[in-house]
Amino acid sequence: MALYNQTLDKGTVLDVLGTTVEALERDDSATRPAACDALEVGSDDWSTSRDRLIEDLLEAEAWMERDTALATEVGAPVDADEGPEFMPSHPTFALLQSAMAEQLAVAPGSAFHPRDLGWLATVYHRLRARIGGKARFIEHQRLDDFRVTMPDRAVVALVSDWGAGNAHAVAVARQIALRAPDHVIHLGDVYYSGTPREAHTHFLDVWKAHGPSRSRYWCLNANHDMYSGGHGYFGHILPAFHQPASYFSLGNQAWQLIGMDTGYVSGSFTTPQMAWLEAQTHQPARTILLTHHHLLSAFRKRGTTLEKWLEPHLAASHLYGWIWGHEHHLVQYADYRGVKCRCIGHGALPYVPPDRLVRRHPAEIVRMETRTSPLDPDRGIHGFALLTFDGPQVFLEYVDETGDTSWTERWD
């Protein structure tokens, strides 16, 4: 189950949202039992659940109208990618897209008709995540929990926004396998909404079929992973990777990669992580922070919440580098407050090359990937970052889906 053209088309998704609202408002006695079964609610609770779903759908529609209006204003604080592919940062839309993809996987070319019981059961079941709540957040018990040692000489592949299950994801996974890294770290986003089904078909199954067989895998939490409540991430991905929690430290004497969860509370940290992070930054090793969400962007609204959380660490120069995804580009930003800032969100999701976009915010770009993909000449090329640790130095190579190198760096 990869990404479908219908699910990436804004008009189609908005039409499906509208027909779903109509079906809920009609409250047809013939479809009500199927709806109750899909939502796992009794008939007495149906009205409350139905009203909640209608409110969520209408709120999503209103959100889209506001975001579309903002996108027409240069400098407006939007949080969406420009381009034909419709991938909004809103949980209700993501869940609708997951339901649509599941329906298309079973019956390609099928319609999303409000009188189709099979379709209604699918969409209601997915929307249930808006009622069912989040998976439990896993917290450390001791300040040295979730800390793993790697050799002074080690190779780590970083990739983000890769969980699409498409041809780009396969190509990137194969290139990572050719480099045979010791560790592979995904910075988050399994599309559309990180359901358990998508966690397997878009993520785990693709790594198993095409990724390096001897690497240890890690995965950060992200906004799309949480749109279905995080159950695919916490209940399936973490156990498959034998990863104890959504935040961790992987380091040696000279360097430590600290992965933090900015998805459980979207675009923010959870309070338990802060005490743990404080203990990690007192280590003598230089810290490279890994998150899904960004600090800087020339195209999307700034990550001011993350900066506020990390203010003590930025002021004390605890961070040497910060690598993130979320924005689907490869960008080297100028150092900010003494921190090397890199965006590597070009893992697999189709995107418009950043040189074709309007720069909405002041963020100094040193260089960015502007080449197009050989699999889709209208979209940007995909890839990952390969970090080679060698004592006090780390060499960074940005590798694309064909195996070529975008550029290299050395940090020391």
At 361 the three-state DSSP class reads coil
The answer to whether 173 and 181 have CB atoms below 8 angstroms apart is no
CA 358, chain centre distance (Å) = 23
Report the range out of 15-19, 127-131, 379-383 with the highest average pLDDT.
Answer: 379-383
pLDDT at 179: 98
How large is the angle between the packed helices 10-26 and 91-106, nearest 10 degrees? 90
The better pLDDT of the pair 316, 71 is held by 316
Question: Does residue 264 have a cis bond before it (omega within 30 degrees)?
Answer: no
Is the pLDDT at 366 greater than 80? The verdict is: yes
Residue spans of the domains in the chain: they are: 6-132, 147-411
> What is the length of the chain?
412
Q: How far apart are the first and last CA of the chain?
A: 42
| Residue in this structure with the two tokens 């490279």, named with its chain if needed | 288
Q: Using alpha carbons only, what angle is made at residue 61 by residues 198 and 77, rounded to the nearest 5 degrees?
A: 90
Reported pTM: 0.91
pLDDT in tens, 94-133: 999 998 998 888 877 667 776 677 787 788 778 877 777 8
Nearest to 289 by CA among 274, 301, 300, 299: 274
Report the distance separating Cα 229 and Cα 94, nearest Å: 12
Report the distance separating Cα 237 and Cα 240, nearest Å: 5
Q: Which CATH number fits domain 147-411: 3.40.930.10, 3.60.21.10, 3.40.50.10540, 3.40.228.10?
A: 3.60.21.10
pLDDT in tens, 185-208: 999 999 999 999 999 999 999 999
pLDDT in tens, 327-349: 999 999 999 999 999 999 999 99
Amino acid at the residue 240:
A
At 127 the three-state DSSP class reads helix
